[in-house]
């Protein structure tokens, strides 16, 4: 062992039991030994930089494609233990919130850190309902889309366009201004989403009704025709509200990472939410719920399930069992458990979706098949949610929009936390350059 080069030990690195919370590393290129503090189960990547082979060396970096083992922030919003299948918002288990709360209560919790009392909740609900209408010119933006435009494409573009309607939103350091945009976004997402659907089926837009709850209003904007009375079924309203709760936040996933990354440049929240929603749109992320339905329809009947599973296994990652697997959950996804239970309640009202039997058979086979067991692949939130959306009468193309509506509160809570975190700066990862060194330019005629 060489000399101890950079001792960073202080009282904070000594634990109550007298052991030091520190990591000793020897750089065998130089023989030097370093002691790196460990805090909250992490070492600082910047502490590696002091390890150099000479004065011209940039210093050691960590290499972590796709952030498999890198924390990019501290957070107090959502806790996940993937091995135990635990998900909590602000300390409350997800099943307890799903059982006892409305989506707007949970949105308040995510944003403010505490569940609202009656007065706080009424005030918050008032703020949200006050902002449910969208600017008539924004409606014209939506009119410009082709009749078969994907609702996610419409949602993303319309949310981005909102930044031009509320230029004050650029003032991201003003907490009051931020609050207003947060209310606007949570309020207008269902309206834009419903309008996107109505546009795709050629039906007139149905304006929001502020006498209704968040989920009642959304279903009404989706399905009411001007000619008829429409009262959404309370079981279906509650099911939608619970789905919104389950989708509200999920710590540092791809979309939230995009939200924080874009927001770190002090971009306005509309543009940042449009970016986060773009990430969510991908089939490996929130777009999976649409893919699950397409997959179940493609399989067509229970008798085709074994052949499909075989194809997935032989595809070795090329063809995936959509709605299965998760970067963090390696036991079960607690959201999927709640959704599966809720599907039964919904089907009692709507009639049983025949695709459910295919889904159950896929799950049954996959959970005992060595390929899936070895890789710890379990049904995720998207596996059963699409079946409920379909039972609610929502077209497959609009499924991811139903994920984006509630995730907006999570994105905004994370965005706000990032802006208030003195340790955060503009997100700017490093790279390991493996390309050509400097070389001589060759004119075109000699190439």
| Closest distance to ligand CMC from the beta carbon of 287 (Å) | 8
Span of 79-87, 237-245, 303-311, 320-328 interacting with ligand CMC by CB under 6 A: 320-328
**Residue 222 binds ligand CMC (CB under 6 A):** no
Plot region of 300 (φ>0 → left; ψ -120 to 50 → alpha; else → beta):
left
Size of the residue set binding ligand CMC (CB under 6 A): 21
> Which one among 178, 198, 326, 397 touches ligand CMC, defined by CB under 6 A?
326
Binding mask 268-307 for ligand CMC (x = CB under 6 A): ----------------xxx-x-------------------
Give the nearer residue to ligand CMC in terms of CB position, either 28 or 374: 374
Residue 332's CB is within 10 A of a number of other CB atoms, namely: 17
> Which one among 112, 327, 337, 352 touches ligand CMC, defined by CB under 6 A?
327
- Catalytic residue positions? 285, 326, 382
Binding mask 381-400 for ligand CMC (x = CB under 6 A): xx------------------
Give the nearer residue to ligand CMC in terms of CB position, either 237 or 254: 254
CA–CA separation, 140 and 159 (whole Å):
13
| Closest distance to ligand CMC from the beta carbon of 64 (Å) | 13
**Residue 317 binds ligand CMC (CB under 6 A):** yes
| Closest distance to ligand CMC from the beta carbon of 358 (Å) | 16
**Residue 406 binds ligand CMC (CB under 6 A):** no
> Which one among 208, 325, 386, 410 touches ligand CMC, defined by CB under 6 A?
325
Q: Which of residues 71-110 bind ligand CMC (CB under 6 A)?
A: none
Binding site for ligand CMC (CB under 6 A): 253, 284-286, 288, 312, 316-317, 320-327, 375, 377, 380-382
């Amino acid at each position: 062992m060489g000399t101890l080069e950079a001792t960073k030990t202080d009282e904070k690195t000594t634990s109550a039991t007298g052991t030091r919370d520190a990591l000793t590393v020897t750089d065998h290129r130089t023989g030097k030994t370093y002691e790196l503090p460990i805090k909250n189960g992490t070492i600082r990547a910047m502490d590696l930089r002091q390890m150099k082979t000479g004065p011209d060396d940039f210093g050691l970096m960590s290499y972590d494609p796709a952030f498999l083992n890198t924390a990019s922030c501290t957070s107090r919003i959502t806790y996940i233990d993937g091995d135990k299948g635990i998900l909590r918002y602000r300390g409350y288990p997800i099943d307890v919130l799903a059982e006892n709360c409305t989506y707007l209560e949970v949105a308040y919790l995510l944003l403010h850190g505490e569940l609202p009392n009656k007065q706080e909740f009424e005030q918050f609900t008032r703020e949200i309902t006050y902002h449910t209408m969208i600017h008539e010119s924004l409606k014209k933006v939506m009119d410009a889309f082709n009749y078969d435009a994907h609702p996610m494409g419409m949602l993303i573009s319309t949310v981005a366009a909102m930044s031009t309607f509320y230029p004050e939103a650029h003032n991201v350091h003003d907490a009051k201004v931020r609050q207003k945009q947060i209310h606007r976004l949570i309020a207008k997402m269902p309206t834009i989403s419903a309008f996107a659907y109505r546009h795709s089926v050629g039906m007139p837009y149905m304006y929001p009704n502020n006498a209704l709850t968040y989920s009642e209003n959304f279903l009404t904007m989706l399905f009411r025709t001007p000619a008829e009375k429409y009262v959404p079924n309370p079981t279906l309203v509650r099911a939608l509200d619970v789905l919104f709760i389950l989708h509200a936040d999920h710590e540092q996933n791809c979309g939230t990472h995009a939200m924080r990354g874009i927001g770190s440049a002090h971009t306005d929240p509309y543009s940042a939410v449009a970016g986060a929603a773009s990430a969510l749109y991908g089939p490996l992320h929130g777009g999976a719920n649409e893919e699950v339905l397409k997959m179940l329809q493609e399989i067509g009947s229970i008798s085709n399930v074994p052949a499909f599973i075989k194809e997935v296994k032989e595809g070795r990652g090329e063809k995936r069992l959509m709605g299965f697997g998760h970067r963090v959950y390696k036991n079960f996804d607690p959201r999927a458990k709640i959704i599966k239970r809720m599907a039964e309640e919904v089907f009692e009202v709507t009639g049983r979706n025949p695709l459910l039997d295919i889904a159950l058979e896929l799950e049954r086979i996959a959970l005992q098949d060595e390929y899936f067991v070895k890789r710890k692949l379990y049904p995720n939130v998207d596996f059963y949610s699409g079946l409920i959306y379909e039972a609610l009468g929502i077209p497959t193309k609009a499924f991811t929009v139903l994920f984006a509506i509630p995730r907006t509160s999570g994105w905004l809570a994370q965005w706000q936390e990032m802006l208030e975190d003195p340790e955060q700066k503009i997100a700017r990862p490093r790279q390991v350059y493996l390309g050509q060194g400097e070389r001589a330019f060759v004119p075109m005629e000699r190439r």
